[in-house]
Structure 1
Amino acid sequence: MTAVRRRDPPARDVSVGRIARIDRDRGRRVGVPEVVLGEGKSVAHLRAIVERLHRAGCGALISRPTADQRRALDATGLPIHSRADGRLLRLAGPLGATFRPGVVALLTAGTSDVPVAEEAGAVLEELGVEVARAFDVGVAGLHRLQRALRRLERSHPELYLVVAGREGALPTVVAGLVHAPVVGVPTSIGYG
């Protein structure tokens, strides 16, 4: 999974009043599309941002929208698609992502870490990356981790994304057992 970078000058940002500046060229420039965080924004602000993205001909991902934000965006009639859990929306249009899809292994220490992991997995899948999952495989049950790693290795992951709450040992343990880079994602969830 690699991004293809280009050295062309970036396109101009798109302004949304005084509330936002949209980098409509991000996908082409750095390989990752515009991602708008819904959490913390008013319904009116998020709607204005998404409508402006659409008018600019940009696709985008909208993460962590509230139920009110989802209803307001649905009412716009814009081509917005929701993932099953509703934590990620996609505004149809070119994302500009320049990834060459590969495989990412996504692991969690416990079940409380799954929502964070699934958000990351959903973004990766929207970028065309295959995601192989193994959840609730924390170091308290190394036998579960070993079984999961054997299964995941059959998909030849290029990266392991390991989500762990307060039990911070899992990314280090995984890094000692696999032959690919490991990225640890801490969460504020869980004990251990």
Structure 2
Amino acid sequence: MAASPSRTTGVADLGFARLDTERAARTGDPEVVLGQGKTPEQIVAALRTLHLAHPGRAVLATRLADEAIAACERELPDVRTDPVGRTAVLGDSPARGRVAVVAAGTSDLPVVRECAETVRVFGAEPDEIVDVGVAGLHRLLAERDRIAAADAVVAVAGMEAALPSVLGGLVGAPLIAVPTSVGYGWHLEGVTAWLAMLNSCAAGVVTVNVDNGFGAGVAAARIARRTAR
């Protein structure tokens, strides 16, 4: 069962969560459901309630286990799920502006897909450009004009995480770097990539946390929306 939002408090109390149904009015974007630590039934109830509160906007759940994705598909007929990005979406958002989501390798695809779906939900158009890491620099250079035309760029990379630094010297769009936990040995589950991005010699590179495609997608979509407006 979905709870009806309270018009006086701006909160929908589901017992296990108090959903902020007025967040879109304050920030321009509805609350998002983080699937970690929640049961499939809780995720379904939260998504349904947020969708009822924001019928003209998409609402998003992230970091979903396979069981939660299956429950969403079973209980929410209009849901759009992505088992790679581990997301579920109800509804659609109008798109303004374009975000290039650029990935060093296909191993980074779960983070890329989470980021791209977040960009779409938060009101911009994602353009996924995958497997253009610096180990084959010609692949990245072939996409330079396409990337440079975007209103914002998200660079997703693991290993030594050189991609954002290279992109920072090729394009002038706002650039958000996402380190991933892809790598060998002393890669330290993404810490190596994170430190490399923080210490980028390219100007204007802003870094989010390891595997945080969601955070990068929110920031990039808001930049793209404002730029397009």
Q: TM-score range by the shorter chain?
A: 0.7 to 0.9
Q: How much identity, in percent, do the aligned residues show?
A: 39
Provide closer, same or farther for how the CA distance between residues 26 and 141 of structure 1 changes in structure 2, counting only shifts above 3 A.
Answer: same
* CA RMSD of superposed structures (Å): 2.7
Q: How many residues align?
A: 175
2:172 equivalent among 168, 174, 179: 179
Alignment match, 2:67:
68
| d(CA) in 2 for partners of 1:124, 1:103 | 9
More helix by share: 2
Alignment match, 1:4:
none
Residue 51 of structure 1 and its aligned partner are, at CA, apart by 4.3
Alignment match, 2:151:
158
Write the deviation string for residues 95-128 of structure 1: whole angstroms up to 9, x where unpaired: 8x7x871011110111111121111111212334
- Under a length normalisation based on structure 1, what TM-score does the superposition of the two structures give? 0.77
1:106 equivalent among 95, 101, 104: 101
Alignment-mate amino acid for residue 70 of structure 2: R
Q: Tell me, yes or no, if the aligned pair for 1:111 and 1:136 is still in contact at 8 Å.
A: yes
Provide closer, same or farther for how the CA distance between residues 71 and 118 of structure 1 changes in structure 2, counting only shifts above 3 A.
Answer: closer
Alignment match, 2:26:
29
Residue 82 of structure 1 and its aligned partner are, at CA, apart by 1.5
1:130 maps onto 2:125 in alignment: yes
Alignment match, 1:170:
163
1:190 maps onto 2:183 in alignment: yes
- Under a length normalisation based on structure 2, what TM-score does the superposition of the two structures give? 0.65
**SS of residue matched to 2:142:** helix
Q: Tell me, yes or no, if the aligned pair for 1:138 and 1:145 is still in contact at 8 Å.
A: yes
Select the structure with the greater relative contact order (CA < 8 A; seq sep ≥ 6): 1
Range that drifts further, 104-113 or 121-130: 121-130
Residue 12 of structure 1 and its aligned partner are, at CA, apart by 2.1
Provide closer, same or farther for how the CA distance between residues 138 and 67 of structure 1 changes in structure 2, counting only shifts above 3 A.
Answer: same
Q: Tell me, yes or no, if the aligned pair for 1:133 and 1:152 is still in contact at 8 Å.
A: no
More strand by share: 1
Residue 85 of structure 1 and its aligned partner are, at CA, apart by 4.0
Tell me, which stretches of 5 or more residues in structure 2 are unaligned?
A: 1-7, 188-229
Alignment match, 2:206:
none
1:149 maps onto 2:144 in alignment: yes
**SS of residue matched to 1:72:** helix
Alignment match, 2:208:
none
Q: Tell me, yes or no, if the aligned pair for 1:113 and 1:190 is still in contact at 8 Å.
A: no
| d(CA) in 2 for partners of 1:61, 1:118 | 13
1:46 maps onto 2:39 in alignment: no
Provide closer, same or farther for how the CA distance between residues 42 and 152 of structure 1 changes in structure 2, counting only shifts above 3 A.
Answer: same
Residue 84 of structure 1 and its aligned partner are, at CA, apart by 5.0
Q: Tell me, yes or no, if the aligned pair for 1:60 and 1:90 is still in contact at 8 Å.
A: yes
Alignment match, 1:12:
10
Q: Tell me, yes or no, if the aligned pair for 1:23 and 1:34 is still in contact at 8 Å.
A: yes
Provide closer, same or farther for how the CA distance between residues 56 and 142 of structure 1 changes in structure 2, counting only shifts above 3 A.
Answer: closer
Alignment-mate amino acid for residue 42 of structure 2: H
Alignment-mate amino acid for residue 102 of structure 1: G
Provide closer, same or farther for how the CA distance between residues 140 and 57 of structure 1 changes in structure 2, counting only shifts above 3 A.
Answer: closer
Residue 168 of structure 1 and its aligned partner are, at CA, apart by 1.9
Q: Tell me, yes or no, if the aligned pair for 1:175 and 1:181 is still in contact at 8 Å.
A: no
